[in-house]
Copies of this chain bind each other. A is one copy, B any other.
Amino acid sequence: MRVSQLFTKTSKTLPADETSKNAQLLIQAGYIYKVMAGVYAFTPLGLRVLENIKQIVREEMNAISGQELIMSSLQKRSTWEETGRWDDEVVDIWFKSKLKDGTDVGFGWSHEEAIIEMMKQYITSYKDLPVNVYQFQTKLRNELRAKAGIMRGREFVMKDMYSCSINAEQHDKFYNDCIEAYKRVYDRLGIGDDTYVTFASGGAFTQFSHEFQTVCEAGEDIIYLGKNKEGKTVAVNEEVLDDKTLADLGLKREELEKVKSAEVGNIFNFGTQKSEDTDFTFTNEKGERQFVHLGSYGIGVTRVMGVIVEKFADEKGIVWPEAVAPATVYLTRLGTTPEVVQAAEDLYKELTSGGVSVLYDDRDEARAGEKFADADLMGIPYRVVISDKTMANNTLEIKARTSDTAEHISRPELMQKLAA
């Protein structure tokens, strides 16, 4: 990718109508474009970050036997009436419209009821179980306010997975596999150390659900961190923090630490409650009809992108962890002599064909200061400078986004450092 060919431009001025840091920085650095409050387009740079996040999630979901599919945005009224969730009094974030003949349709804000209706068609026997499916879906939610940038939008991308199991044992196995897979996801996304499996409110079937909460000032949630008797950190959502929860989890109220956090994932054990509501059954080995055990597992893909910006940004701009960055290297050419241009082009090719993704600042007119400021604002993990000066010394200058000091190293050393 060449900077000269990006249609987006960085901006030094804060967007007037954004109060959240993530939206401000992502707009200034050219990752997103605001369509309306809570609705953003993703530019080529932003789409790369989104796809990097999705690919990490995809690999981990596949590794625990998740099968990717894609549902529809359009939803039938009848699908949601069975559980009472078509009603605007029950779910107040529906976008709804009508077909030409007056038939009501909704736009998917969740796909739980839709996946159950679909799976009822395929699952009839114990031989058909377990089934674990997931999708990356654009969800539409008619939020009253949308001021948190891409952390809570009216249109956003979510990975939602659903498990159908034969009994509690099979369900629990997958549920626990999923907890471990989610931990790997957040580790790979660079937020593992600050992301906690958090006890949150359950449903009809379980005392607790599990949220994945990332400590983050911009988060909308409050969680409490404490250590149980085994010395393990336990996180509890404020909504379930009462004496019973404290006793159940072996925590002492006075030892808890209160932090703001953002929910980046949640997993939910429905037991057989939802399949009872929707009459979702299978026939067991004895020919008896039984209810399917269901679980639901979400990761807010666009929200995670926002949380990463909020957590790591500094006064100069965004700081992407390497795994999600749109490029690993911001290759900065200083000067326009034929020699330096040729050397920069060669290095661009060498890095790219070596599997290193590069954002190459090939602009003639931009000054060094501008280029450095852009590299910082965009948050690319490494800045590599090639100039007449570095060429005279037969070195290259490399600086990590998170470091204040540059190193001068040889080209082979650079390749070795950056090769995965």
Contacts and interface: CB of A to CB of B under 8 A. Distances in A.
**Chain A: number of interface residues, binned into ranges:** 35 or more
What 5 A-B pairs have minimum CB-CB distances, sorted nearest first?
A7-B131, A44-B67, A95-B97, A41-B71, A39-B74
B42 A7 contact: no
A20 to B, nearest CB: 18
12 contacts: A35-B74, A39-B74, A41-B72, A44-B133, A72-B155, A73-B155, A74-B155, A95-B97, A97-B97, A99-B154, A100-B144, A107-B107
A295 to B, nearest CB: 15
A283 to B, nearest CB: 15
Contacts of A7: 67, 119, 122-123, 128, 131, 133
A8 B121 CA distance: 9
A69 interface: yes
A377 interface: no
A72 to B, nearest CB: 5
Nearest to A106: B97
Given A107-B97, A107-B107, A138-B138, A9 B72 contact: no
Contacts of A184: none
Contact of A138 (B65, B73, B105, B142): B73
Contact of A74 (B44, B100, B140): B140
A69 B95 contact: no
A24 interface: no
Contact of A8 (B5, B42, B122, B155): B122
A69 B43 contact: yes
A67 B105 CA distance: 34
A124 B355 CA distance: 35
A281 to B, nearest CB: 16
A40 B40 CA distance: 26
Contacts of A142: 97, 99-100
A76 interface: yes
A91 interface: no
Contacts of A122: 7-9
Contacts of A72: 35, 39-41, 155
A70 interface: yes
A42 B137 CA distance: 12
Contact of A154 (B43, B74, B96, B138): B74
B118 A33 contact: yes
Interface in A124-178: 128, 131, 133, 138, 140, 142-144, 154-155
Contacts of A63: none
A50 B43 CA distance: 22
